[in-house]
Amino acid sequence: MDAVLDEAAGKRARGLDRAFEILDFLREKRQALKPNEIAAQIGAPRSSVYELVNLLLRNGILEFTGGEGRVYLGRKLYFLGAAYENHFDFTRECEAALERLADETRETAQFCMLDGNKYTVVRMREGARPFRISTDVGQSVPIPWTASGRVLVTHMTDAEILAFIPAQDFQLPSGEWLDPATFLAEVRAAEGDGHFTFNSIVDSFTHCFAVPVMGDAGHAVATLCLVAPRADGLANREQYLACLKDAARRLGGHAPAQAQRA
């Protein structure tokens, strides 16, 4: 009897894991897809994907959109996210920190975290410049592409970092490959300096700044960042770093336990 119960519990756990895999996949793709397309691209049995998609549709976690049976993330997820935000003062503190940074520097300010083994912008406040520098909030990006990526893995050993980051993520948007040894050296420099800045390797006209938001465990649980036009970023480097570090120091004490364990 216990073996039967254990098997049933195992099936439920695997189904839950697969459901989250579907949600994460749709978030990554940023487009509505048919269940058979989802199944093919995540390498899952079509029957189980159809079953889970129907369950998620019934509960409002997914919604039909775009016709031809395509599904995408549902509004229930928005309400769940809003409830999470309302539970923590940290969200309000984060918004206030980004607003101060954008006002003080006139540059685009971001709050960034790891999502699994990828980097993502969680919050953003655009600067007061006549042209926009922005990033898609919530989009997963390879860690080696970002200034924050160097800061967010400083608590790991070199071996842990190389095991954590997928090998293909060292291929840059240009198609060139970043030498992992170079990346590790930059991580250790960020650890020693308490920040990391560089000319963006994603585009050719911005300079990026990242400083850690420290958790109770003594390592970075998030970063505060500025994205500036390259010439202005280099000219105002020390001022921008001072603003970031002051904001990160204030914000660190408010980080919720969930973020600190991420």
pLDDT at 217: 74
pLDDT mean over 155-159: 96
C-alpha 200 chain-centroid distance: 17
Q: Where is average pLDDT lowest: 15-19, 40-44, 131-135?
A: 131-135
Please, which contacts does 213-216 make with residues 24 or more away whose CB atoms are closer than 8 Å? 213/111, 213/248, 213/251, 213/252, 213/255, 214/248, 214/252, 215/252, 215/255, 215/259, 215/260, 215/261, 216/255, 216/257, 216/260
Share of the chain above pLDDT 90, in %: 59
Give the pLDDT band of residue 89 (cuts 50, 70, 90): low
pTM, 2 dp: 0.70
- Answer whether residue 126 shows pLDDT above 80: yes
- Answer whether residue 4 shows pLDDT above 60: no
pLDDT mean over 72-76: 90
Share of the chain above pLDDT 70, in %: 87
pLDDT at 88: 62
pLDDT at 261: 38
Alpha-helix runs per DSSP H in the chain? 2-29, 35-42, 46-58, 75-87, 89-105, 147-152, 158-164, 180-193, 230-235, 237-252, 257-260
Name which residue leads in pLDDT, 260 or 22: 22
Give the pLDDT band of residue 255 (cuts 50, 70, 90): low
**pLDDT tens digits, one per residue of 238-252:** 999 999 999 998 887
pLDDT mean over 203-229: 89
